[in-house]
Chains A and B, each alone.
Chain A
Amino acid sequence: MTGYAIETKEMTRCFGALRAVDRVSLQVPTGSIFGFLGPNGAGKTTTLRLLLGLLELNGGSATVLGYDVSTQAASIREHTGVLLEHDGLYARLSIYDNLEFFGRVYHLDVRTRQARIQELLKHLGLWDRRDADVTKLSKGMKQKVAVARALLHRPSLVFLDEPSAGLDPVAAVALREDIQNLARKEGTTIFLTTHNLAEAEKICDCVGVIRKGQLLTQTSPAELRSQTGKATARIVGHGFSDSSLAALRALPQVESAVLRDDELHLELGPGTEIPPLVTWLVREGIQIEEVHKGRGSLEEAFVALMQENGQEHREVLS
């Protein structure tokens, strides 16, 4: 096996005339958390199904954990864990019985199974509710149980398809921390499909962006931000006036300037230096208290990337 948990070359899948996955070549380093980003219908779920050997390739090749997806799909499924679009939990069974079933599926012996279920449920704060029916759980709790199920047999690679979709912000943060902690603790490679860019930015070592079945880029979140994200600055001070703002917006290196209370938010063109701008503002009579320099968020970088490739902003955020 190479240093990659997943390696695809020109991987293609068509549904009739539609190329759902179009010559995708990506490499996911072993032990990393990889974010697979894209708008709805971009081909994320189809890619995931191809990597699990649940759909057949129409072209190209792919290996997962060194196994060929076309000929060794059973081995891939043996060594991976999944949380797909739906949590996939059996509503009629209790939390414990759900995990018990999957523990049996992966041939964990009784003692290992019991210890592992206890370990995961305690870690996720669900041990006291282990006998509760899944139907009685909140969406966040169900997602946690599904994450526990995916990690139960200590797989080398876990596929998570939109794990925080439909969760409230608090539950999403908790789940994100759980995924991150468990992945780091157990050295598991995580392949995470999401269109929650804040989530990807916080936990992913590496991201791939897909649109209309085509992989637009594969890089680190920081690199993606620096490639396509705009530089920003937040300046706190007094004495901003309409005329000074208008003059500021007229500067070629300033792409936008918005005043909120006493905070000036600037989006800057490529290569713009902050100190000359600060000097300019002081000359305009503005009293500056604080200057914060930043790169654009991954979301901005993502939107920029989509716009570069002809995608409307509205569609990206839908």
Chain B
Amino acid sequence: MKDISTVVWKELSEFWRARGGSRARLMSFLPIFFVFGVFWPLQGREAWVTVPFLPGFLFMILPLTLAGGTAADSFAGERERHTLETLLATRLSDRDIFAGKVLATTIYCTALVWACALISLITLNVSRGSNPIFWYSEISVFLIALGTPLLAVLMTAIGVLVSLRAATVRSAAQTFSIVTLLVFIGVPLLIQALPPAMQASLVEMVATANMTLVALAAGTVVLAASIALLALGIARFQRTRLILEE
């Protein structure tokens, strides 16, 4: 665990320092905090409270868009910046390096989501004045607290898998984009390809289903997919291959 936390420390320090000085760092996060913490909550107002899934789903955009790209840099970036071989020549085990990188990206995305969730709470409560204190619905708390980290792990796992074999950060990012595009376009296309009767029953099932159960089922699928992809990543993490691809 100590070695994993060492890798996490290094990765998070790099994320932080990559943004330049303190002002530049603040400026780089401001748009995210503004959109997710101020603009959308103020636009949604009552819907933020009455539509149970709304904030949770909106916050999921962050791991979906940030985790993969950040993870794609993990090994391809080290390879491109000629630091990978030195890292592999240390006493750190393969699993520690791999787990540290996955965990760092997950922590980064989750912290960003939780910070946005907190800012949006403050924004809404301040804007509502003396009205009863605003709080998220149970399902939103579940999605924010557990759903977004889970999604971050999944996207990170995909990103790291792509990054393991990519020669440069750019090629890793391109491959990652294609993979995610295939998933997001592929699933609707698959649904469209179903017979009309099956499509209708699917729509009816979603419309009448208990959404909490749907969320739990979706979470289980994401968890299973994450575990499978992480296992694949660890299996593909071989020093010899990585060195030869340097």
A-to-B contact residues, CB < 8 Å: 49, 52, 54-56, 74, 77-78, 80, 82, 84-94, 97, 101-102, 104-107, 133
- Are A86 and B82 interface neighbours, CB within 8 A? yes
Mark contacts of B85-122 with chain A using CB atoms, 8 A cut-off: 1 yes-contact digit, 0 otherwise: 11111111100000000000000000000000000000
Is B236 located at the chain interface by the 8 A CB criterion?
no
Nearest B-chain residue to A55, judged by Cβ: B240
Is B17 located at the chain interface by the 8 A CB criterion?
yes
Query: Given A93-B17, A105-B91, are A88 and B83 also a contact pair (CB < 8 Å)?
Result: yes
Hey, which chain B residues are within 8 Å of A89, CB to CB? 83
Query: Given A54-B243, A97-B13, are A88 and B91 also a contact pair (CB < 8 Å)?
Result: no
Is B9 located at the chain interface by the 8 A CB criterion?
yes
Provide the bound-state CA to CA distance between A101 and B91, in Å.
Answer: 13
Provide the bound-state CA to CA distance between A102 and B86, in Å.
Answer: 10
- Are B18 and A86 interface neighbours, CB within 8 A? no
Hey, which chain B residues are within 8 Å of A54, CB to CB? 85, 88-89, 239-240, 243
Mark contacts of B184-209 with chain A using CB atoms, 8 A cut-off: 1 yes-contact digit, 0 otherwise: 00000000000000000000000000
Hey, which chain A residues are within 8 Å of B13, CB to CB? 92-93, 97, 101
18 example contacts (A-B, Cβ-Cβ < 8 A) are as follows: A54-B85, A54-B88, A54-B240, A55-B244, A82-B86, A84-B85, A84-B89, A87-B82, A87-B86, A88-B86, A88-B87, A89-B83, A90-B10, A90-B83, A92-B13, A93-B13, A93-B17, A107-B2
Provide the bound-state CA to CA distance between A93 and B3, in Å.
Answer: 19
Query: Given A55-B240, A55-B243, A84-B85, are A78 and B91 also a contact pair (CB < 8 Å)?
Result: yes
Which residues between 1 and 33 of chain B lie within 8 Å of chain A, taking CB atoms?
A: 2-3, 6, 9-10, 13-14, 17-18
Hey, which chain A residues are within 8 Å of B83, CB to CB? 86, 88-90
- Are A88 and B82 interface neighbours, CB within 8 A? yes
Mark contacts of B235-246 with chain A using CB atoms, 8 A cut-off: 1 yes-contact digit, 0 otherwise: 000011001100
Hey, which chain A residues are within 8 Å of B244, CB to CB? 55
Partner of A77, one of B2, B81, B82, B91: B91
Partner of A56, one of B6, B85, B240: B240
B14 CB, nearest partner CB in chain A, Å = 5
Hey, which chain A residues are within 8 Å of B240, CB to CB? 54-56
A46 CB, nearest partner CB in chain B, Å = 10
- Are B86 and A101 interface neighbours, CB within 8 A? no
Nearest A-chain residue to B90, judged by Cβ: A105
- Are A77 and B90 interface neighbours, CB within 8 A? yes
Hey, which chain B residues are within 8 Å of A82, CB to CB? 86, 89
Mark contacts of B206-246 with chain A using CB atoms, 8 A cut-off: 1 yes-contact digit, 0 otherwise: 00000000000000000000000000000000011001100
Provide the bound-state CA to CA distance between A56 and B243, in Å.
Answer: 11
Hey, which chain A residues are within 8 Å of B6, CB to CB? 101, 104-105
Hey, which chain A residues are within 8 Å of B93, CB to CB? 74
A84 CB, nearest partner CB in chain B, Å = 5
By secondary structure, the A interface counts as: loop
Provide the bound-state CA to CA distance between A80 and B91, in Å.
Answer: 9
Nearest B-chain residue to A82, judged by Cβ: B89
B-to-A contact residues, CB < 8 Å: 2-3, 6, 9-10, 13-14, 17-18, 81-83, 85-93, 239-240, 243-244
Provide the bound-state CA to CA distance between A102 and B7, in Å.
Answer: 10
Nearest A-chain residue to B82, judged by Cβ: A86
Provide the bound-state CA to CA distance between A26 and B2, in Å.
Answer: 37
- Contacts beyond the supplied A104-B9, A105-B90: 16 A-B pairs with Cβ under 8 Å: A54-B88, A54-B243, A74-B93, A78-B91, A80-B89, A84-B85, A85-B85, A86-B82, A88-B82, A88-B83, A94-B17, A101-B6, A101-B10, A102-B90, A105-B3, A105-B91
Hey, which chain B residues are within 8 Å of A94, CB to CB? 17
Partner of B86, one of A84, A97, A133: A84
* Residue picked from B81, B89, B240, B243, most chain A C-beta under 10 Å: B89
Provide the bound-state CA to CA distance between A74 and B89, in Å.
Answer: 9
Partner of A92, one of B3, B14, B82: B14
A53 CB, nearest partner CB in chain B, Å = 8
- Are A90 and B91 interface neighbours, CB within 8 A? no
Provide the bound-state CA to CA distance between A241 and B244, in Å.
Answer: 60
Hey, which chain B residues are within 8 Å of A77, CB to CB? 89-91
Provide the bound-state CA to CA distance between A97 and B92, in Å.
Answer: 18
Hey, which chain A residues are within 8 Å of B87, CB to CB? 88
Query: Given A86-B86, A102-B90, are A91 and B10 also a contact pair (CB < 8 Å)?
Result: no
Hey, which chain A residues are within 8 Å of B243, CB to CB? 49, 54-55
Hey, which chain A residues are within 8 Å of B3, CB to CB? 105
Provide the bound-state CA to CA distance between A92 and B16, in Å.
Answer: 9
Provide the bound-state CA to CA distance between A90 and B82, in Å.
Answer: 9
* Residue picked from B10, B14, B82, B90, most chain A C-beta under 10 Å: B90
Hey, which chain B residues are within 8 Å of A106, CB to CB? 90-91
Provide the bound-state CA to CA distance between A82 and B3, in Å.
Answer: 19
- Are A88 and B14 interface neighbours, CB within 8 A? no
Nearest A-chain residue to B93, judged by Cβ: A74
